[in-house]
Amino acid sequence: MRIFIIDDDPFIRHLMGHQLSELSQAQVYEFDGGVSAMDAITREHHADDLIICDLHMPDKDGVELVRELGQIGFKGGLVLVSGEDARILQTVERLAQGLGLRLLDALQKPVSRHRLEQILQLNRERDLPQTRRKAPPLPANELKQALSRNELINHYQPKVSVRSGEVTGVETLVRWDHPRDGLIYPDRFIAQAEELGLMDPLTFAVLRRALDDAARWHQQGIELQVAVNISMDNLDALDFPERIEHELKQRGLPPTSLMLEVTESRLMRNRLESMDILSRLRLKRVGLSIDDFGTGHSSLAQLRDLPFNELKIDQSFVHGVSHHASLRSIFEGCLSMAQKLGLHTVAEGVEDATDWAFLQYSGCDTAQGWFIARAMPPEQLPHWLQQWQQRRTALIQPAEE
């Protein structure tokens, strides 16, 4: 194992070099700038190498270095260190992840000896979750076949009340049960469905299945509002509300049992038509949620023009909210705006106990995320509901004391 410390401040560089030599058997190399460091790293690099790099350097800054590490396909561990604003560090952190680099940590100076020990431990763990790279899209004809062969299946992710822990609904998440490749997630086929003009048949296949499941749960005494994702692409036919109403009536379900989560997938085609369609869906008492709020796809203009009754704060503003001041500001801003507009609020991406604890005092209505449950096949839901009843008491009690 080799460690490269890149920092133009000789004191910090020597201090870290000294500590790392004491803490590990590794060869430690110090560089006072990005140019000489990149020369050495480009010549030879290994998967167990570790780079600790300052962001602010005179000859080649940390951002350029991160970019070049991405270009040479560096597989080792990377730690970014900065005396700069935490928000710059967060942005470069995302950049490094986007380039597929194995980012172990992003730290503000000074770095403690204990933290260096933790970093060395992390770099030794070979089974670190690799940054997810998008798998290639599937052949176009296969998606058409999948629809005709009913290979698309629904999984459901529960939504729970933050205050009472009561399960209020589920979000339908489509999966492709591919005969050769197994379970495929929508990030690999939705964009393709949009390009091929298959969003309408796909959405209705998902919706019908979701309403079938909702009707079955209803018969078992389980009342859940089912949310289905639609894209603006679905809203180009004026009879869309009637088709939705028809599907609900056929199964004897009230319109309030359905929530449509709307995202703007591409450019909105026809603003007036979508205003027409969405207003009439609300008049019919179908729920409308603005999905992934805060991302480029769901904007303030949509909120201004369209009659939503629920707002889902995007997961990128929720997970980690308790320990990132900038996330907290954005989260609280979205929440307060939604409340003033009289919208029901949902936090997506509640992934751990600290996210959940933060929400307890936030005033947000509903939580959804891995901490509560991952998306599951419909047959697993009744069992999960039983388990949740036990977990729920433990999770809610502290807030009521």
CA distance 19 to 214: 59
* Ranges of H-type helices in 251-352: 271-283, 300-305, 325-340
CA distance 361 to 359: 5
Q: How far is the CB of 109 from Mg ion (least distance, A)?
A: 39
CA distance 7 to 26: 18
Q: How far is the CB of 111 from Mg ion (least distance, A)?
A: 39
Q: Which of 291, 310, 314, 355 binds Mg ion (CB under 5 A)?
A: 291
Using CB under 5 A as the binding rule, the residues of this chain from 148 to 177 that contact Mg ion are none
Is residue 368 within the footprint of Mg ion (CB under 5 A)? no
Is residue 310 within the footprint of Mg ion (CB under 5 A)? no
CA distance 203 to 207: 6
Question: How far lies 328's CA from each of 251, 276, 313, 363, in Å?
Answer: 42, 35, 12, 13
Using CB under 5 A as the binding rule, the residues of this chain from 172 to 191 that contact Mg ion are none
Q: How far is the CB of 226 from Mg ion (least distance, A)?
A: 12
- Does residue 383 sit in helix, strand or coil? helix
Q: How far is the CB of 139 from Mg ion (least distance, A)?
A: 27
- Does residue 78 sit in helix, strand or coil? strand
Total residues contacting Mg ion by CB under 5 A comes to 3
**How many other C-beta atoms can be found within 10 angstroms of the C-beta atom of residue 27?**
11
The stretch among 5-13, 210-218, 224-232, 323-331 that binds Mg ion (CB under 5 A) is: 224-232
- Report the residue number whose CB is nearest to Mg ion: 261
Is residue 261 within the footprint of Mg ion (CB under 5 A)? yes
Closest alpha carbon to 105 in 71, 127, 128, 133: 128
The stretch among 2-10, 129-137, 194-202, 285-293 that binds Mg ion (CB under 5 A) is: 285-293
Q: How far is the CB of 352 from Mg ion (least distance, A)?
A: 20
C-beta closer to Mg ion: residue 36 or 316: 316
The stretch among 86-94, 190-198, 229-237, 393-401 that binds Mg ion (CB under 5 A) is: 229-237
If 0-12 CB within 10 Å is exposed, 13-18 middle and 19+ buried, where does residue 169 land? Answer: buried
Q: How far is the CB of 302 from Mg ion (least distance, A)?
A: 14
Q: Indicate the pairing of strand 366-367 with strand 225-231.
A: unpaired
- Does residue 291 sit in helix, strand or coil? strand
C-beta closer to Mg ion: residue 74 or 371: 371
The string of DSSP codes covering 176-199 is EEETTTEEE-GGGTHHHHHHTT-H
Please list the residues that pair with 260 across neighbouring strands: 228, 288
The stretch among 240-248, 255-263, 275-283, 296-304 that binds Mg ion (CB under 5 A) is: 255-263
C-beta closer to Mg ion: residue 82 or 231: 231
C-beta closer to Mg ion: residue 213 or 261: 261
Q: Which of 123, 229, 234, 315 binds Mg ion (CB under 5 A)?
A: 229
Residues that bind Mg ion (CB under 5 A): 229, 261, 291
